Amino acid sequence: MDVTRQPTRRDVARGVAAIAAASAVACPSIAQSAARVVVIGGGFGGASCARALRRLDAALRITLIEPKRTFTACPFSNEVIAGLRGMAAQQFTYDKIVAEGVTVIAQAAMTVDPQVRAVGLADGNILAYDRLVLAPGIDLRFDALPGYDEAASARMPHAWQAGEQTMLLREQLEAMDDGGVVVLAVPAAPLRCPPAPYERASLIAHFLKARKPRSKVLVLDAKDGFPQQRLFENAWKELYPGMIERIALSQGGRVISVDPATNTIVTDFGNYAAQVANVIPPQKAGRIAGIAGAADNTGWCPINPATFESKLVPNIHVIGDACIAGQIPKSASAAHAQARACAAAVVNLISGKSTDMPRLNGACYNTVAPGYAFSLSGIYQPKDGQFAEVEGSTSAVDAPREVRRQEAENAQTWFRTITVDAFG
Ligand code: FAD
């Protein structure tokens, strides 16, 4: 496999022929002259975008490139870690998307050449595009935290991309002795799903309280504040008194290195020996975004918020966690809203129509125990070249338990709705 080879014009012609044949099988009614949209990444952003494109324009030739045949969702994966949910409930296939006339190619995209508008696949084939949507999610920065590389993640799981890592953390919690310390290392912003580390700390405490009640959760945090902090801290006092300790940035919580051989986590103020070490490293846009030239020196992809078109590379749009989108958090909810707005913009650009200003809804639920959740939601619109929050709300700090129970049900409904919309 030649992963560095750049596509030539001849490759492009060959790739076009290959994909034209594939498209003809998937959707025979599509005209040969129809515009070609390639979507890289079949997660919440990419899968939602491919389906939205199909709904908006039956003539488009849409190809979704995603190496995994089954997608494993991160939302609710903290419940899998805590033993409250099976992994099967997190997994989705692309069958419905294929049935709707999207060509799904089970390969990784390895190269993007914006000059000839072509994507190179792992098997050497080349796909030509008129518009390319990048939705590759995140990559973990295995070079950012001394001691923490890919090999270390087999001992100190991040579980920040759901799947094997989720199960590894689950197994380590099952295996640990009562009385041990679970250390959760949280990086500085920006990160995928900013409240999720605290949801995880809560649900791990729930597991420990029932199964290993002498154990503790220690959160070492490279930030001082975090979303819905009062709600989390009140819930910790109420549900898990004395079980969760958090050391914030200004108290010396920033992790500066790790030693996987001894499961030690090092901060400026001391070393912590963990029985289970859940190390969430700094992150960046999925690697293909950098290869395409769409990521800047922050590692993320700046976009024009009206169309999601890259500020760095023409004809490439970036959605989901990979883009820098102002005040919108990196969440499945945001990726899904961005996907639909981006699909509308792409269809308008292809047909030469003007694009409406997007107005995106985002909602996030945090579950701290079964039947106990709270939420925050926002509406985001373009302002000064970024997305700004124009409306926002958060659960009341003093709401009764009945409201928390209702929010836990709403969270389940949210997950069902978003996954049906993304994957069918
Ligand atoms: P992803 O969903 O990660 O999809 C990216 C896809 O791109 C992957 O399938 C990957 O295989 C594919 N890909 C990458 N590179 C390539 C390539 N070169 N070629 C082809 N395909 C490629 N969000 C919420 O809204 N609510 C929640 O409650 C919530 N809980 C969370 C809990 C946890 C523990 C975590 C870690 C995250 C949580 N999130 C939540 C965040 C949410 O999972 C992400 O924000 C969301 O998945 C982002 O969508 P995306 O499409 O950008 O990336």
Which domain range does residue 295 map to? 9-67+107-139+284-357
Ligand 1 centroid – CA 38 distance (Å):
18
With tokens 């003809």, the residue in question is 24
Site to probe by mutation for ligand 1, drawn from 44, 91, 92, 407 as the one with most ligand atoms within 8 Å of Cβ, is 44
22 pLDDT exceeds 70?
Answer: no
pLDDT at 325: 85
- Residue 98 counted as domain residue: no
Atom of ligand 1 nearest to the CA of 366: 28
What is the C-alpha to C-alpha distance for residues 38 and 23, in angstroms, rounded to an integer? 12
Residue 35 has which token pair?
A: 């515009």
Residues 274-310: tens digit of each pLDDT:
999 999 999 999 999 999 999 999 999 999 999 999 9
CA of 23 to the centre of ligand 1 (A): 26
- 406, 398 contact by CB (below 8 A): no
Q: Rounded to whole angstroms, what are the CA distances from 16 to 12, 57, 63, 112, 227? A: 6, 20, 12, 15, 46
- Cβ < 6 A, ligand 1 pocket: 40-46, 65-68, 71, 74-75, 77-78, 108-109, 135-137, 160, 192-193, 196, 286, 288, 320-322, 330-333, 335, 364-365
pLDDT band at 27 (very low <50, low <70, confident <90, very high): very low
**Ligand 1 mean position to 138 CA, how many Å?**
7
Residue 288 lies in a domain: yes
For ligand 1, atom 53, which residue shows the shortest CA distance? 137
- The answer to whether residue 371 sits within a structural domain is no
Same domain, 164 and 51: no
Residues 209/240, Cβ–Cβ less than 8 Å: yes
Q: Is residue 35 part of a domain?
A: yes
CB–CB of 367/78 below 8 Å? yes
Q: How many CB atoms lie within 10 A of CB 246?
A: 21
**384 occurs within a structural domain:** no
Distance 298 CA to ligand 1 centre (A): 19
Helix (H, G, I), strand (E, B) or coil at 219: strand
Same domain, 312 and 352: yes
Ligand 1: residue whose CA is nearest its atom 41? 331
Q: Which of 64, 331, 338, 416 to mutate to test the pocket of ligand 1 (most atoms within 8 A of CB)?
A: 331
Nearest-CA residue for ligand 1 atom 18 is 109
Residues 244 and 319 in one domain: no
Give yes or no: residues 276 and 293 share one domain.
Answer: no
Q: Pick the residue whose CA is nearest to atom 4 on ligand 1.
A: 43
Residues 20 and 43 in one domain: yes
Cα(40)–Cα(134) distance, rounded to whole angstroms?
5
Return the minimum-mean-pLDDT range out of 21-35, 110-124, 188-202, 340-354: 21-35
Q: What is the largest CA-CA distance in the chain?
A: 67
Contacts of 62 (CB under 8 A, 6+ apart): 37, 38, 39, 50, 53, 54, 101, 102, 103
Q: Which of 76, 126, 193 to mutate to test the pocket of ligand 1 (most atoms within 8 A of CB)?
A: 193
Q: Flag whether pLDDT at 193 surpasses 90.
A: yes
Is the pTM value of this prediction over 0.85?
A: yes
Residue 203 lies in a domain: yes
Domain count, the chain: 2
**In this structure, which residue's CA is closest to atom 9 in ligand 1?**
43
pLDDT digits (tens, 9 = 90+) for 381-397: 999 999 999 999 999 99
The model's confidence at residue 355, banded by pLDDT at 50, 70 and 90, is: confident
Q: Tell me, yes or no, whether 277 and 148 share the same domain.
A: yes
In angstroms, rounded to a whole number, what is the distance separating the alpha carbons of residues 253 and 92? Answer: 37
The whole-number pLDDT of residue 17 equals 39
Atom of ligand 1 nearest to the CA of 335: 49
DSSP 48-88: HHHHHHHHH-TT-EEEEE-S-SEEE-STTHHHHHTTSS-GG
In a domain, residue 129? The reply is: yes
CATH number at residue 35: 3.50.50.60
Q: What is the pLDDT of residue 31?
A: 41
Q: Which atom of ligand 1 is nearest to the CA of 411?
A: 28
Same domain, 172 and 203: yes
Q: How many whole angstroms from 31 Cα to the centroid of ligand 1?
A: 33
Q: What is the distance in A from the centroid of ligand 1 to the CA of 283?
A: 12
Q: How many CB atoms neighbour CB 112 within 10 A?
A: 26
The protein residue whose alpha carbon is closest to atom 45 in ligand 1 is: 331
pLDDT at 9 over 50: no
If asked whether residues 125 and 177 sit together in one domain, one would say no
Pairwise CA distance, residues 8 & 276, whole Å: 49
**What's the CA angle centered on 405, arms 400 and 410, to 5 degrees?**
125
Same domain as 119, residue 26: yes
With a CB cutoff of 8 Å and minimum separation 6, the contacts of 275 are 176, 177, 180, 181, 182, 215, 263
Cα-based torsion angle of the residue sequence 15, 20, 22, 28 in order, rounded to the nearest 10 degrees: 170
Q: 187: cis peptide before it, omega within 30°?
A: no
Residue of the CA atom closest to atom 51 of ligand 1: 45
Ligand 1 centroid–CA 51 distance in Å is: 17
Rounded to whole angstroms, the Cα distance separating 279 from 155 reads: 10
- Could you tell me which residues come within 8 angstroms of residue 237 by beta carbon, excluding any fewer than 6 positions away? none
Whether 231 and 194 share a structural domain: yes
181 within some domain: yes
At residue 356 the predicted structure's pLDDT band, cuts being 50, 70 and 90, is confident
What's the mean per-residue pLDDT of the chain?
93
Boundary of a domain, candidates 252, 281, 310: 281
The secondary structure element, H or E, covering residue 267 is: strand 264-267
pLDDT at 23: 38
Q: Do 156 and 117 belong to one domain?
A: no
Where a domain ends, among 241, 256, 281? 281
Both 134 and 58 in a single domain? yes
For residue 115, the 8-state DSSP code is T
pLDDT at 33: 57
The identity of residue 287, as a single letter, is R
Taking a C-beta distance cutoff of 8 angstroms, is the pair 48, 41 a contact? Answer: no
